A and B are shown apart, each in its own frame.
Chain A
Amino acid sequence: MTLLSLRGITKRFDGKPVLAGIDLDVARGERIAILGASGSGKSTLLRCVNFLELPDEGSVALDGETVGRRERELTRVRQRIGMVFQQFNLFPHMTALDNVMEGLVTVRRVAKAAARERAERELARVGLADKAAAYPAHLSGGQKQRVAIARAVAMDPELLLFDEPTSALDPELVGEVLGVIRALADEGRTMLLVTHELGFAYHVATRVIFLAEGRIHESGAPDEVLKAPRRERTQAFLRRHKEFSL
């Protein structure tokens, strides 16, 4: 069953086309890894899905319903889609627990006590029960990103967007974050994952797409795209990442 459907998504910045007509259908339970060179529009694509950027053209449908452009609709759609950023974007003036509670209390109007209980469970799930009272400034990059994941997951999103969740981390902290994402994948959650961790993409994704020149240049099962890419640009991209091991 199709959860997300993108049709002809186009986005220009200062007249320069970054996305030039993206069509993509994502079924429930699918995990799509998005690859592409730096500047190829991977972040922009994710941000168009939850309307942090408004597409210039094209439509986004969630659960068969095309999303309109009224602010109320966009806000409602964003509540159903979780996003994890490269730079974490935790709220620095709140503790880890408050970061996770914030969406529940302010957006979903869950009672404080229930929200706290839920947030504590989410923090425990990412292995940070003991950091509930810590402010982001006192957490490592890996811990921050795990709080950010807990914050997104606490909202019970139907779709999770990950934008290079480990790219800002020291190498030794990458594993703990990938482990958490892996666990979410094993629960059967639907996700779009922009990453340069090709090995991870290979093992976790159900489909891989490669972006170039604002379009989906190549798409297919991880075995096809990562091991036997057909298009030349995909091959060149993978050669540049040859240090990865599948």
Chain B
Amino acid sequence: MHQWDFASVLANREALLVGAIGTLRIFAICLVAGLSLGFIVGLGRYSRNRLFYWPATAFTEFFRNTPVLVQILWFYFALPILVPFSIGPLAAAAMGISLNSAAFSAEIFRGGIQSIDRGQWDGARAIGMTAGQAMRRIVLPQALRRMTPALTNRAIEIFKMSTLASAVAYVELLQQGKLIASLNFNPIEAYTAVAVIFFVCLWPLVQLTYVLERRLGRSE
């Protein structure tokens, strides 16, 4: 029977705090970069112009069908051999996770925009809106509301994918957990603590998006 002993974990709470900050940092970067790039790629996928459609499609297919971990390792270990500069663990991990998230969220954006009735474009164009105004004022707000559940899932996925950054020794929660486990020989407590911290961070985030969804849905 295992004797649970969280004292050794608590003793390292500062290391965990540093890890949590590292996790939040890479999460924030990847969320913004991944979703912004995903929106642009999604517009390309939605476009009827081949000049936009084909590059966006190639991008989506490539990054959806290669493992994020491989990309992170590639950016960290292979890229510096090919180009005359090296990139740090954060940049390598953030690139891998962001590009993957962009590919997946591009499909969410494309699908969301496509799901809006053509009549909405007609209504917007008929009062003299440009395509950009119609997208920004009429189509996108409605599409975003429909996409909220899917984008929420993406955000959660990004948060969890951040642990992959430990593969290149970026200081985040899992990396710190590993460190604590190896120094104190307490893998059960260390990894349990990491899992609990993830849950405590993510759960309120998800609740917040439920509130958001309800607020967005008030016109229905």
Which positions in A face B, CB cutoff 8 Å?
A: 50, 52, 71, 75-76, 78-83, 85, 87, 89-95, 102-103, 106-108, 135-137, 148, 151-152, 155
Contact = CB atoms under 8 A, between A and B. Distances in A.
B137 A135 contact: no
Interface residues of B, number: 22
Interface string B183-215: 000000000000000000000000000000000
Given A89-B120, A102-B137, A83 B126 contact: yes
B123 A85 contact: yes
B131 A71 contact: yes
Nearest to B128: A79
A91 B128 contact: no
Given A85-B119, A92-B219, A78 B125 contact: yes
Identify which of B124, B128, B219 gathers the most chain A CB atoms within 10 Å of its CB. Answer: B128
Nearest to A78: B128
A214 B11 CA distance: 83
Contact of A107 (B122, B128, B142, B219): B128
Interface string B104-142: 000000000000010110111111111101000110011
A52 B127 contact: no
Nearest to A87: B119
Nearest to B124: A91
A152 B127 contact: yes
Contacts of B138: 91
A85 B118 CA distance: 12
Contacts of B123: 85, 89-91, 148
Contact of A155 (B122, B127, B218): B127
B145 interface: yes
A215 to B, nearest CB: 25
B123 to A, nearest CB: 3
A107 B126 contact: no
B128 A155 contact: yes
